[in-house]
Amino acid sequence: MKIGFIGLGIMGKPMAKNLVKAGYDVIVADKFAPGAVEELVACGAKAGSSNMDVGSQADIVITMVPNSPHVKEALFGEDGAAKAMKKGAIVLDCSSINPIASREIYAELEKQGIEMLDAPVSGGEPKAIDGTLAFMVGGKQEVFDQCKDILAKMGSSVVRCGEIGAGNVTKLCNQTIVAVNIAALAEAMQMGQMCGVEPQKIYEAIKGGLAGSTVMNAKAPMMMDQNFQPGFRIDLHIKDLNNVVDAAKTVDAPIPLTQTVLEMMKILHHDGNGSYDHSALLKYYQKLSGETLHH
């Protein structure tokens, strides 16, 4: 089985590496990251000359790109992989996009006899490197069964959530919870320090209790170190929360907490912080208080 991989950014590059390490025949393409393509080739992958070239050779094409337009371009653009894919091939889209777009993309692929799963991930760069991502998957059960082992080489959790689009609906839920959690963590740590308690002591005392979380363990040390290197960029989280807003509108779901954190992130973006990790939500509170969090 040949696996094509399009999109070798912060997440895609380590994911593709893990497939190579697992022994799969992997062909990669990313015209925006030629250095990453060379790195994958050095690890044992093959370089596709284009997305279409990848599509012509692969039984499964994995896409890991920023948003809906990029997925559509990778598959259906002038150099689109889907133009050369065989009937019965599978697109495994690991991008985090609007579930409505996932359904639109599948409708186009279906006309060509191509199957699809939407399989966005959670865990950020560290878990992409470790191969311990969480996959949230939408699509037919039989297609999921064909791809589950492949996903398991890149993640420690692979759950089918429903039909096409269900994976991205679940990812939007995930992104809401993560965003609100990080904002609450930043707010509490900043307030605690301003009340005279060392942030490190707050973290140590809380992390083993009910308020403890994977988010806290990952982001509290970054906040105390003022280390905002991504991980997961604020601008990408803004993209995800905008998709939450769009999805919520279609079903009239109330999302006041999501809306609030989205506005905070937009302020950070306008202040030039969009390329920082989303733990930089702390900067919103530091700007208001005039005080920097420390160990």
Q: How far is CA 23 from each of CA 16, 52, 150, rounded to the nearest angstrom?
A: 11, 23, 11
Give every CB contact of residue 179 below 8 A, 6+ residues apart in sequence: 237, 240, 241, 258, 261, 262, 265, 278, 281
Q: Among 29-33, 145-149, 229-233, 285-289, whose mean pLDDT is lowest?
A: 229-233
pTM of the predicted structure, to 2 decimals: 0.92
Residue 71: pLDDT above 90? yes
Ranges of CATH 1.10.1040.10 domains, the chain: 169-289
Per DSSP, the three-state class of 192 is: helix
- Quick check: 168 and 98 in contact, CB under 8 A? yes
Instruction: Report H helices in the chain.
Output: 12-21, 34-43, 51-57, 68-76, 99-111, 124-130, 141-152, 166-194, 199-206, 214-225, 234-251, 256-268, 282-289
Other residues' Cβ atoms within 10 Å of the Cβ of residue 295: 11
At residue 147's C-alpha, the angle toward residues 145 and 152, to 5°, is: 105
- Provide the percentage of residues in the chain whose pLDDT is more than 90: 97
- Quick check: 90 and 61 in contact, CB under 8 A? yes
Average pLDDT, the chain: 97
DSSP H/E element including 136: strand 133-138
Residues 2-164, CATH architecture: 3-Layer(aba) Sandwich (3.40)
Q: Can you name the CATH fold of 169-289?
A: N-(1-d-carboxylethyl)-l-norvaline Dehydrogenase; domain 2 (1.10.1040)
155-214 per-position pLDDT tens digit: 999 999 999 999 999 999 999 999 999 999 999 999 999 999 999 999 999 999 999 999
Residue 293: pLDDT above 90? yes
Confidence of residue 295 (pLDDT cuts 50, 70, 90): confident
Q: How far apart are CA 217 and CA 253, in angstroms?
A: 30
Q: How far is CA 122 from each of CA 22, 61, 62, 278, rounded to the nearest angstrom?
A: 21, 20, 16, 14
Confidence of residue 231 (pLDDT cuts 50, 70, 90): confident
- Quick check: 59 and 115 in contact, CB under 8 A? no
Ranges of CATH 3.40.50.720 domains, the chain: 2-164
Q: How far apart are CA 20 and CA 250, in angstroms?
A: 40
**Of 179, 185, 180, 262, which is closest to residue 224 (Cα–Cα)?**
185
Q: How far apart are CA 53 and CA 50, in angstroms?
A: 5
β-pairing, 121-122 vs 115-118, is: unpaired
**Of 278, 271, 276, 242, which is closest to residue 258 (Cα–Cα)?**
242
Name the active-site residue from 13, 17, 46, 171: 171
171 is known as an active-site residue: yes
Q: Which DSSP state fits 84? A: G
pLDDT (0 to 100) of residue 218: 94
Average pLDDT over residues 64-88: 97
**Of 26, 78, 75, which is closest to residue 55 (Cα–Cα)?**
75
Compute the CA torsion angle 42, 46, 50, 51 (nearest 10 deg). Answer: -110
